[in-house]
Amino acid sequence: MSTHPKPVIGIIGCNRTVEGEPAHIVKARYVEAVQNFAGAIPLICPSINDASDAGAIVSRLDAILLTGSNSNIEPSRYGASEGRMPFDTNRDAMSHALIHAAMAAGKPVFGVCRGLQEINVALGGTLIDQRDDAATTQPHHAADGVSLDEMFGFAHEVDLVAGSPLAALTSVTHASVNSVHYQMIGKLAPGLMVNARAEDGVIEAVSSLPGASPILAVQWHPEWRPDNRPHDLAFWKRVGSVSPR
């Protein structure tokens, strides 16, 4: 048995209705990825309606993981007047607070899909919907009505930026990634650098600038059955490599 303490990774929760009443949930695949692929301890952080305790939450964790979700970020948070529902305003507020609390404490922030978008918005960037953007030349989401396996099996190629943290982690220049998103980065936030792009230019991975509080986020879903995808296993290895308190 290892004597080395495992890091504790806080996983943000979403607000849903379960059996007719409000619930805080995290899909099991994120919890299992932290446990099985990162080798860390998952701890769910509910998106309560008061985000003022985010600093106290972060003080008890070693890193934050912002997951994907079927909800979109409320458009007023990035200066837009319109957006597509569903929204999760409590999660918007909590993710914003957790990001800034973690950065202030120098603790890593990791993002998946919506999590990447939350990081970009929290740091001053914007989002656009690919369905409204004529410059997006390839689909980034499977067609409506397909099975879960088909949805998460929908994939395209990305080019990793040479010298970026993600390229260093994965040791590859190209990768095939699953793609389950409609929203995407419009204006990249100050303080972030691009780590990967799709063939049509969509930003697919970001990190913080050198010397800043560590951030790493991908637009795809590395938690979905990553066993045969070395670049996704490398992402989880990085999550598990954070220093325990």
**Residues forming the active site:** 113, 221, 223
Q: In terms of Cα–Cα distance, which of 94, 79, 110 is closest to 15? A: 94
* The residue to which tokens 């949930």 are assigned: 25
Pairwise CA distance, residues 31 & 85, whole Å: 26
Cα atoms in the 13 Å half-sphere on the side-chain side of 216: 23
* The residue to which tokens 């410059």 are assigned: 135
List, as one string, the DSSP characters of 101-158: HHHHHT--EEEETHHHHHHHHHTT--EEEGGG-TT--S-SSPPTT--HHHHHH-EEEE
Q: In terms of Cα–Cα distance, which of 72, 69, 100 is closest to 221? A: 69
